[in-house]
Chains A and B, each alone.
Chain A
Amino acid sequence: MKNMLKDALILMAITLVAGAFLGLVHEITKKPITQQQEKAKTDAYAEVFKDADHFTVMEGFDTDQALSVLHENNFDNEKITEVMMAFDKNQQLLGYVISVDSTEGYSGDIVFSMGVSLNGTINGVSVLSISETAGLGMNAEELLAPQFAGKNVDQFSYTKDGATIESQIDAISGATITTKAVTEGVNAGLVYFRTLSTGGNEND
């Protein structure tokens, strides 16, 4: 009994010291980690909207409202997580950067951001987080994302037989589920973008 207590106390002491060191390292790395995450985000924004000079968070963005918009349009597996407004040097609104979280991925969520100009043209798609099968779905960034850039269509669809029209996306062979998730995600983003632009027009 006495031994047991002693053992427990020693273990507790070790745990306490370990906890203290963890806290220390956490404090030291907290700032760099937030900086890195911010940097990763702005990099992603810049990538999908090369013309833009700076980005600001869109005021009045509500995830629940965005979700209900998507539900109305039958997008049940996508979420809009963030909307940024892209401005040029003269404070002129160029378009939006919409971050979409698609839960339909083969293993876990696929989060990507897409830059959409005011006229509805997709400037670029950049994957923020993905954990698909290595060698197949993981290639979404290289194989899928570039296919969306520069296109102005209402809705994308994917095909396995080689894309013939503008709205078609070549599926990654062996990763159809990933392709579907990304394509649907982009479509969801477009749907939300249209509510933004019409809403914006009304305000004008």
Chain B
Amino acid sequence: MIKQKNSVYSPTERLINGVFKENPIFVLVLGICPTLATTTSAVNGLGMGLTTAVVLALSNVIISLLRNVIPDKVRIPAFIVIIASFVTMMELILQAYIPVLYNSLGIYIPLIVVNCIVLGRAETFASKENAILSFFDGLGMGIGFTIALTIIGAFREWLGAGKIFGFHAMPSNYVPVTIFVLAPGAFFVLAFLTAIQNKIKILGTRNGKDMSKIGSGCNDDCLNCPDKNGCDHSFYDTSVNDKSEIKEDTNHIKNSLPVIENNASDDVKIEDNINNAHQSKPERKDNTGKKDDSKKSAVKKDTTKKKVVKDNVVKEYVEGDIAKEEPAMEGLVEGDITKQDIAKDEISKKVNIKKEAEQKAGSGRKKITAKQQKEIKEDEKKAKEAEYRSELDAYSSTDEDSEESEGEK
């Protein structure tokens, strides 16, 4: 993976992100199995959360350090080996020094291995960013997880057993509602808590408060999601295009803002055009300058990836190897695939036309009038949109809603 310079992330930002923006339970809704199972009491939730937090932070660090060593093809088994090792170590340590917690959590300690948050963070974050950021990312996620589990546990214990942290917290004539300490109760409490915090965020936005710091990570549309590259991260074999990818990346860094008049190769220019097209788009729901910046660089990063991805997609279609496609595409019927194919062809045609147009303009690129530039931009924008649309088609129906529902990712 390429080292991301001028990263949009910082340790504190990562901590806040894990606790509020992308809280694993209330926003991402990941790792629900241990959440439902271990939150029968506040203490259990706390213990489970802290154990997971330690595993998350440590495995993130190791995976981040090894991110340039681990081959892309075997990264999932490699991640799992690392995560499983930490979980087993935690299990042994708990058994040796905190047996009470070990006994109450039981089977759910070894099950942290298959907790999707841990693998999810390894895949979307630690395998791309440096060790320090990854540590804080894991820690933030872990703390968010711990807080969520403790709150859920406290509510369930309070309603289901009349206690909080083992202390009586209800009038003595209160008859505990046993269902709250059973599995269904976990769903009820989780649903209510998620609804409440969503309501708070919505009300805050409506009253004009700046919710960008605690707003859900998926508040904005997917197109501008700073983590979008997390969604399409190397389900493709990117090794073939490694060189061109690096070249483009350095170009991006050199010309911090892409301009048509630069001297790089045609390919890069087209990419830059696409960038321009993106940036000329009216920003939605966006009021803070900082966020704007992060989005720009995210889009940049995104397009670089997109380019590679697109190449691969085309290549793989030619080879007729659909199995290598994104998992989401596996569910496609044949008709969809051809539709997809045609859409891709159209895009590449358009891109070719653009290339020609640029070549016609000759060496003196400065001669391109503002009007022409605008036209090119428009075209690029259209092409890009068409591509996104065709991609959206490819996703399963649940993903189509993801722009509206903030909880989904």
> Which residues of A line the B interface, CB within 8 A?
3-4, 6-8, 10-11, 14-15, 18-19, 21-22, 25-26, 29, 32-33, 36, 40, 131, 133-136, 174
Contacts and interface: CB of A to CB of B under 8 A. Distances in A.
A22 to B, nearest CB: 6
B74 A7 contact: yes
Contacts of B70: 10, 14
Given A7-B74, A135-B182, A21 B89 contact: yes
Contact of B181 (A6, A26, A134): A134
Contact of B74 (A11, A32, A36): A11
B89 A22 contact: yes
A133 B95 contact: no
Contacts of A10: 69-71, 74, 78
Given A133-B182, A135-B178, A15 B97 contact: no
Given A10-B69, A29-B93, A29-B96, 8 more contacts: A18-B85, A19-B85, A21-B85, A25-B88, A25-B93, A40-B99, A135-B178, A136-B182
B145 to A, nearest CB: 20
Contacts, number: 68
Interface in B58-73: 66, 69-71, 73
A6 B82 CA distance: 19
Given A10-B69, A14-B66, A14-B70, A36 B99 contact: yes
Of B82, B85, B178, B182, most A-chain CB atoms within 10 Å: B85
Nearest to B37: A134
B71 A33 contact: no
Contacts of A8: 74
B282 interface: no
A8 B70 CA distance: 10
Q: By DSSP majority rule, is chain B's interface helix, strand, loop, or mixed?
A: helix
Contacts of A4: 73
A54 B56 CA distance: 44
B40 interface: yes
Contacts of A40: 99
A90 B221 CA distance: 79
A26 B161 CA distance: 37
A22 B359 CA distance: 61
Nearest to B102: A36
Contacts of A133: 182
B303 to A, nearest CB: 28
Given A29-B95, A33-B95, A6 B71 contact: yes
Contacts of B71: 3, 6-7, 10-11
Contacts of B66: 14
A14 B97 CA distance: 28
Nearest to B79: A14
8 contacts: A8-B74, A14-B82, A19-B85, A22-B88, A25-B92, A133-B182, A134-B182, A174-B178
B235 to A, nearest CB: 17
Contacts of B160: 135
Top 6 closest A-B pairs, CB basis? A135-B181, A32-B96, A29-B96, A18-B85, A134-B40, A7-B71
Nearest to B94: A29
B106 A131 contact: yes
B96 to A, nearest CB: 4
B81 interface: yes
A7 B81 contact: no
A130 to B, nearest CB: 10
A134 B184 CA distance: 12
A29 B93 CA distance: 6
Contacts of A134: 40, 181-182
B320 interface: no
A32 B97 contact: yes
Contacts of B335: none
Contact of B96 (A7, A19, A36, A174): A36
B77 interface: yes
Contacts of A26: 92
A137 to B, nearest CB: 11
Nearest to A40: B99
Contacts of B89: 21-22, 25
A22 B99 CA distance: 19
A63 B69 CA distance: 53
A10 B74 CA distance: 9
A25 to B, nearest CB: 5
Nearest to A133: B182
A15 B85 CA distance: 9
A75 to B, nearest CB: 27
Contacts of A36: 95-96, 99
B74 A18 contact: no
B92 A33 contact: yes
Nearest to B161: A135
A7 B72 CA distance: 9
A131 B107 CA distance: 10
A133 B161 CA distance: 14
Contact of A14 (B81, B92, B93, B107): B81
Interface string B329-355: 000000000000000000000000000
Of A8, A32, A40, most B-chain CB atoms within 10 Å: A32
A38 B73 CA distance: 46
Contacts of B182: 133-136
Contacts of A3: 71, 73
B400 to A, nearest CB: 36
Interface string B142-186: 000000000000000000110000000000000000100110000
Contacts of A22: 85, 88-89
Contacts of B107: 131
